[in-house]
Amino acid sequence: MGHNIHFNESTGRHSFFSVKKPAWHKLGQVVEDYPTSKEAIQFAGLDYKVVKTPLFTTTSQMAVGEEGLNHQDLSLPVHSHFATMREDNHTVLGVVGKDYKVVQNADAFAFFDAIVKEGKGIKYETAGALGNGERIFITAKLSGNIRVGKDDLIDQYIFLTTSHDGTGSITAAFTPVRIVCQNTLNAAMGKLSRVVRIRHTSGAKERLAQAHKLMGIVTQSAQAMLQTFDRWAKVKITDRQVKRLIQQALAPNKETLGKLHRGEVEDLSTNFKNQCEDAFAYALMSEAQQMPTTKGTVFGAYNAVTGYFQNVRSFKSEEDKTKSILLGGTAQIKGQRAFNLCGEFVKHGEEALN
């Protein structure tokens, strides 16, 4: 897949589009030749042990010595909390409560191994770490695609993640990726959950039940997504409406939304206007937007926003990009907003954008 460069005459700026790998790929090792999560994370260098270590606080007090009064530092134990630490390099990963139970990386994703073993064509694909290793992830790719229209294919992934900084459970989420542009289309559809959270304390039997629950969610989500996107690919939307939808999806706050509703475009920040211009240029010009499913359609409008974050916007690092798209960051929030706006537009037409 090549790229194209679009020169925007009104802003005097070039927009550059290139199709990249899925958001998480550059952070991890490709592990598709390893059939168990334990083997996969071992290959990816994620099989370090994590231990709970005592915390101390230092206080200073006056003490009388031979030379008179002097300061003396006292080290006092903190009984309510502990630090989690990597045993291999002694990096502190976080602070946790005294009842926190460490689940080692090798054990965190083992609940899903049975599904990989029995699921035809499910393979672990990528494994990696964020930060100093306080959060690790592994992705499983399912065989078969979701096919929107005649030949617009969506790969099906499960993104599994666990953390050692006390911020949560083991999480597994259905994560669809549109192949032609690698856009992550991980929106929640109404009341249909696409995420399973597994407590660190749950036992093997409970985890296996959760794994089967996750696969049920994947099947449901894939069917609902196909119906939604197939419908959106048939609903037309004008360029002016797409621009308005992009502006509302990318708006950083209520104040900006208010200005948009009142038509006070001159009062919008240059940064926000540039973001909207870039996303709109992507909507019109990128090769992925010229397909029958996306050209002038609501499905195309949704992909304009997800594609802006995946293929246009620059992030400080690949890690920042992954957090933004997959771990509840800006890209995920605004992608969800775009998804909701598209749904409203299909139901109510232009009034949904007013």
pLDDT tens by residue, 135-193: 999 999 998 899 999 999 999 999 999 998 877 678 999 999 999 999 999 998 877 77
pLDDT tens digits, one per residue of 68-83 = 666 667 778 888 899 9
Q: Work out the angle between the directed axes of helices 254-262 and 239-250 (0-180°, nearest 10).
A: 150
Q: In 3-state terms, what secondary structure has residue 152? A: strand
Quick one: 91 and 182 in the same domain?
no
Residue 34 confidence (pLDDT) above 60? yes
Fill in the DSSP letter of residue 236.
Answer: B
Residue 15 confidence (pLDDT) above 60? no
Q: Would you state the pLDDT for residue 6?
A: 46
Fill in the DSSP letter of residue 297.
Answer: B
Fill in the DSSP letter of residue 166.
Answer: S
Q: Determine the distance from the C-alpha atom of residue 55 to the mean position of all C-alpha atoms in its chain, rounded to a whole number.
A: 32
Q: Which residue has the higher pLDDT, 156 or 22?
A: 156
Given 230, 264, 282, which residue is the final one in a domain? 230
pLDDT tens digits, one per residue of 184-236 = 999 988 777 788 888 766 677 888 888 888 899 999 999 999 999 999 999 99
Question: What are the φ/ψ torsions at residue 68 (nearest 5 degrees)?
Answer: 95, -155
Q: Would you state the pLDDT for residue 11?
A: 47
Please provide the average confidence, as pLDDT, over all residues in the chain. Answer: 87
* Residues 6+ away with beta carbon under 8 Å from 77: 54, 55, 56
Q: Would you state the pLDDT for residue 17?
A: 63
Provide the token pair at 79. Answer: 């009984």
Residue 354 confidence (pLDDT) above 70? yes
Given 97, 126, 160, which residue is the final one in a domain? 97
Given 199, 230, 261, which residue is the final one in a domain? 230
Quick one: 106 and 195 in the same domain?
yes
Highest mean pLDDT among 54-63, 207-216, 272-281: 272-281
Quick one: 291 and 260 in the same domain?
yes
Quick one: 111 and 222 in the same domain?
yes
Please, what is the Cα angle at 327 between 98 and 319, to 5 degrees?
Answer: 100
Quick one: 213 and 172 in the same domain?
yes
Q: How confident is the model at residue 62 (pLDDT cuts 50, 70, 90)?
A: low
| Domain range enclosing 214 | 25-48+102-230
Which uninterrupted H or E stretch holds 229? Answer: helix 204-232
Residues in the chain: 354
Q: Would you state the pLDDT for residue 1?
A: 36
Q: Which of 94, 54, 8 is nearest to 312 (CA)?
A: 8
Q: Would you state the pLDDT for residue 64?
A: 62
Residue 39 confidence (pLDDT) above 70? yes
Q: Would you state the pLDDT for residue 135?
A: 92
* Residues 6+ away with beta carbon under 8 Å from 218: 142, 156, 158, 174
Please report the sign of the dihedral spanned by the C-alpha atoms of residue 100, residue 217, residue 157, residue 275.
negative
Q: Which residue has the higher pLDDT, 200 or 323?
A: 323
**Predicted structure pTM score:** 0.87
Quick one: 165 and 32 in the same domain?
yes
Quick one: 135 and 180 in the same domain?
yes
Q: Would you state the pLDDT for residue 7?
A: 46
The structural domain count of the chain equals 3
Quick one: 274 and 224 in the same domain?
no
Quick one: 226 and 106 in the same domain?
yes
Q: Would you state the pLDDT for residue 3?
A: 40
Quick one: 15 and 127 in the same domain?
no
Distances (CA, A) of 325 to 46, 159, 308: 22, 12, 11
Residue 332 confidence (pLDDT) above 70? yes
Q: What percent of the chain has pLDDT over 70?
A: 90
Quick one: 70 and 113 in the same domain?
no
CA distance 35 to 176: 21
CA distance 76 to 58: 6
Quick one: 169 and 62 in the same domain?
no
